[in-house]
Chain A
Amino acid sequence: MIQSNANAIKLEIRDLRKVFDGAEAVKGSNLTLKRGEFLSLLGPSGCGKSTTLALIAGFLEPTSGEVLIDGNPITHIPVQKRRIGLVFQDYAIFTKLSVKQNLLFGLEAQKVRRVEREKSVAEFAEKLGLNGLMNNRGSDLNMSEMQRVALARVLVTKPELLLLDEPMSNLDAALRASLRGELKQIQKDLEQTVLYVTHDQIEAMSMSDQIAVMNNGNILQIDSPEDIYRRPQSRFVAEFIGEPLINMMSCEVFSTSDALLLSTQAHKEMRLQRGWGESGKYLLGIRSHHITVEHEPFSGSVGVIVKLVENYGSEHVLHVIYGDESMTVMVSPGFAREGDNVHVAFDLKDVSLVDPATDQIHHPDKLDETA
């Protein structure tokens, strides 16, 4: 299918709300997804992401708001006619049909000619490595086979939009890693527009063009994976993304006659650009591997004591005592042992400052624009 405008918006949801028995599961979400884009809806379980998916697919009727595909509202179009492909968490393979019948199902339902049906099914069976399984019963497949059949079954119908609902949560870690790559490759090859629902940040980070982080029925931030990671706009996003958990330290911003200064418990009077904002108490968020650490003191460093070393395999995480708070720092294995003295420093451009009143985040390196 050739679209005249490559950047056309494929899916748009406007002020989508869903109320169940008085509880608001989705609280007025907005989202746009361009053709060929891969967007992940990321959030903890119960955040409303699956409800959003069901609203887009059409299994639920929104309380208010609209879903548009190619600019046309589809809120009142039946599920059958939406041409939205779905991959379910349990894959929902038709257990009583063969793999081949599974793949043919959508094309038969859409009354595609036999010759074309067979051709498309053969093509996708090849692409997803299902050739040896075509006569197996749906009930006789293992998890990874099920996933590939579920994918092939919807892809063969060339859906306008593909929705995937936590498709990897039933797989073990090794399989997940290899399937992430495969899925991304297929999506790119087919230029398939994908909305991917997951609670796993690694899946979201590794495959997505855009990530929408959701919590409590709200979409908190939609950005590229880099920006979600580096520039979270709220405390929830900062803490939900990244491993280990982002460090949150108390700090205070105050102004003197010639400068705006920031002090943590250990680092004193780091210089912020003028006009940055109001003085007051903040939380300073800094990721473990944005912290520089040396055995010897260096410019801007403060000395800390290593309390605990966690082994992550390729990396070690030091838990150090920073003022009277705890901080984690990422280092290469064998860098330090418990009880060692090390010196740490960080750059203010990597810092997220959380306003404790609103939980909104300010990024000090953006000062020039606002000043």
Chain B
Amino acid sequence: MHQTKIWVTVLKRTAVIIAAIIAFFPIYWLIATSFKPFEEWASWPPIWLTDNPTLQNYRIVFFPDMAREFATQQSGSLDYKVSGSAWKAFKGSAIISIVATFFSVTFGTLAAYSIVRFNTGGKNYPFQFLTVRMVPPIAVVVPMVVLFSILKLSDTYFGLILAYTAFTLPFSIWMIRSFIDDVPAELEGVAMIHGMTQLRAFLTVTLPLVKGGILSTALFIFILNWSEFLFALVLTAGNVVTVTLQVANYVSASSGKLYGVQAAMGTVSTLPVILFGYLIQRHIVRGLTFGAVKR
């Protein structure tokens, strides 16, 4: 152990440094591009670090006037997608992600509790929820378009909220289940001997013990919702916009992809997710493995 040869250690550290550089480089490029002026977006040779940093891309993202001006400068024509303010996308993503997370975690907590304490539906019941996660969403999206048009849910916040709630339920049920599993049932038993109803015992005894876990689950699900792309792409038509849609929208007819603007939008939109991701780093493995692997 301590006697390992120096060159082995050097080799190990070098490998780790290379891995860290590879992990960070695309993110660096995204951020670096977001500060590049238009001429440098796709110049040859590529600019690795710009000498003329500018906030123009961010201005285009946040100020419709700037976007309009930019579009006129570039081509004389105006692409509605470019000029659309990112505020709308942030608002859309925030509403949808927060509400869908709330529903998913609330429904998930109730179901998980029922499954853990009452063995509801038998041993295989929880797997029914997992199947939802195994199905490629695109396979369900085709009939969902039909269903949503019947229910008038197409291109509405509620439509996306419903879809997101359903498709994150497997995570919330399984993750919260693994947290509730860690709380001995005897604790509630004691409370019930003292005259509490089962529901009250759950709310006053178990819930406070798992609230950290539920909060982590909520953040985790928020990340999934905020990052979602396919449902947003198919189930909306311009009335509802999310941040992921907005990123993909920065394409103009004349100049193709607007790298700098996309990078700026990408940088801003991904920041909350990274922050939340590190906050729940301890639980992220548990989340993505449905509670199968714990730290």
Chain A–chain B contact at Cβ < 8 A: yes
CB proximity of A113 to chain B, nearest CB, Å: 28
For residue A78, CB closer than 8 A to chain B, the reply is yes
Expressed in whole angstroms, the Cα–Cα distance for A78 and B2 within the complex equals 8
Expressed in whole angstroms, the Cα–Cα distance for A204 and B4 within the complex equals 35
Q: In the complex, what residues of A have CB within 8 A of residue B4's CB?
A: 78
CB proximity of B6 to chain A, nearest CB, Å: 13
Expressed in whole angstroms, the Cα–Cα distance for A59 and B2 within the complex equals 8
Interface size class of B (residues with CB under 8 A): under 10
Q: In the complex, what residues of B have CB within 8 A of residue A111's CB?
A: none
* Contact digits for A57-82, partner B, Cβ 8 Å, 1 yes 0 no: 01111000000000000001111000
Q: Contact partner of B1 among A76, A77, A79, CB < 8 A?
A: A79
Q: In the complex, what residues of A have CB within 8 A of residue B2's CB?
A: 60-61
CB proximity of B8 to chain A, nearest CB, Å: 11
CB proximity of A158 to chain B, nearest CB, Å: 23
For residue B3, CB closer than 8 A to chain A, the reply is yes
Q: In chain A between 35 and 62, which residues have their CB closer than 8 angstroms to a CB of chain B? A: 58-61
Expressed in whole angstroms, the Cα–Cα distance for A59 and B3 within the complex equals 10
CB proximity of B230 to chain A, nearest CB, Å: 41
Q: In the complex, what residues of B have CB within 8 A of residue A58's CB?
A: 1, 3
| Residue in A closest to B2 when the chains form the complex, CB atoms | A61
| Residue in A closest to B3 when the chains form the complex, CB atoms | A78
Q: In the complex, what residues of B have CB within 8 A of residue A59's CB?
A: 1
Expressed in whole angstroms, the Cα–Cα distance for A334 and B256 within the complex equals 104
Q: In the complex, what residues of B have CB within 8 A of residue A61's CB?
A: 2
CB proximity of B7 to chain A, nearest CB, Å: 15
Chain B interface SS verdict (over half): loop
Expressed in whole angstroms, the Cα–Cα distance for A154 and B2 within the complex equals 23
* Contact digits for B270-283, partner A, Cβ 8 Å, 1 yes 0 no: 00000000000000
CB proximity of A155 to chain B, nearest CB, Å: 24
Q: In chain B between 1 and 53, which residues have their CB closer than 8 angstroms to a CB of chain A? A: 1-4
Q: In the complex, what residues of B have CB within 8 A of residue A79's CB?
A: 1, 3
Expressed in whole angstroms, the Cα–Cα distance for A76 and B4 within the complex equals 10
Q: In the complex, what residues of B have CB within 8 A of residue A78's CB?
A: 1, 3-4
CB proximity of A53 to chain B, nearest CB, Å: 15
Q: In the complex, what residues of B have CB within 8 A of residue A60's CB?
A: 2
* Contact digits for B177-211, partner A, Cβ 8 Å, 1 yes 0 no: 00000000000000000000000000000000000
Expressed in whole angstroms, the Cα–Cα distance for A58 and B3 within the complex equals 9
CB proximity of A128 to chain B, nearest CB, Å: 29
| Residue in B closest to A81 when the chains form the complex, CB atoms | B3
Q: In the complex, what residues of A have CB within 8 A of residue B3's CB?
A: 58, 76-79
Expressed in whole angstroms, the Cα–Cα distance for A77 and B1 within the complex equals 10
CB proximity of B5 to chain A, nearest CB, Å: 9
Q: In the complex, what residues of A have CB within 8 A of residue B1's CB?
A: 58-59, 78-79
Q: In the complex, what residues of B have CB within 8 A of residue A77's CB?
A: 3
Expressed in whole angstroms, the Cα–Cα distance for A78 and B8 within the complex equals 14
Expressed in whole angstroms, the Cα–Cα distance for A59 and B4 within the complex equals 12
| Residue in A closest to B4 when the chains form the complex, CB atoms | A78
CB proximity of B142 to chain A, nearest CB, Å: 46
Expressed in whole angstroms, the Cα–Cα distance for A60 and B2 within the complex equals 8
| Residue in B closest to A59 when the chains form the complex, CB atoms | B1
CB proximity of A64 to chain B, nearest CB, Å: 15
| Residue in B closest to A78 when the chains form the complex, CB atoms | B3
| Residue in A closest to B5 when the chains form the complex, CB atoms | A78
Expressed in whole angstroms, the Cα–Cα distance for A72 and B210 within the complex equals 57
* Contact digits for A339-358, partner B, Cβ 8 Å, 1 yes 0 no: 00000000000000000000
Of A76, A77, A78, the most chain B CB neighbours within 10 A belong to: A78
Expressed in whole angstroms, the Cα–Cα distance for A351 and B2 within the complex equals 48
Expressed in whole angstroms, the Cα–Cα distance for A309 and B1 within the complex equals 55
Expressed in whole angstroms, the Cα–Cα distance for A79 and B1 within the complex equals 7
Expressed in whole angstroms, the Cα–Cα distance for A54 and B63 within the complex equals 66
CB proximity of A330 to chain B, nearest CB, Å: 45
Q: In chain B between 119 and 145, which residues have their CB closer than 8 angstroms to a CB of chain A? A: none
Expressed in whole angstroms, the Cα–Cα distance for A61 and B2 within the complex equals 7
Expressed in whole angstroms, the Cα–Cα distance for A101 and B158 within the complex equals 61
Q: In chain A between 8 and 39, which residues have their CB closer than 8 angstroms to a CB of chain B? A: none
Expressed in whole angstroms, the Cα–Cα distance for A61 and B4 within the complex equals 12
| Residue in B closest to A77 when the chains form the complex, CB atoms | B3
Expressed in whole angstroms, the Cα–Cα distance for A79 and B2 within the complex equals 9
* Contact digits for A73-112, partner B, Cβ 8 Å, 1 yes 0 no: 0001111000000000000000000000000000000000
Expressed in whole angstroms, the Cα–Cα distance for A82 and B1 within the complex equals 13
Expressed in whole angstroms, the Cα–Cα distance for A76 and B1 within the complex equals 11
Give me the interface of B with A, judged by CB distance under 8 Å. 1-4
Give me the interface of A with B, judged by CB distance under 8 Å. 58-61, 76-79
**12 pairs, CB–CB < 8 Å, chain A vs chain B:** A58-B1, A58-B3, A59-B1, A60-B2, A61-B2, A76-B3, A77-B3, A78-B1, A78-B3, A78-B4, A79-B1, A79-B3
What 10 pairs across the A-B complex have the smallest Cβ distances? A78-B3, A61-B2, A59-B1, A76-B3, A79-B1, A77-B3, A58-B3, A79-B3, A58-B1, A78-B4
Given contact pairs A58-B1, A78-B4, A79-B3, enumerate 9 new A-B contacts (beta carbons under 8 Å).
Answer: A58-B3, A59-B1, A60-B2, A61-B2, A76-B3, A77-B3, A78-B1, A78-B3, A79-B1
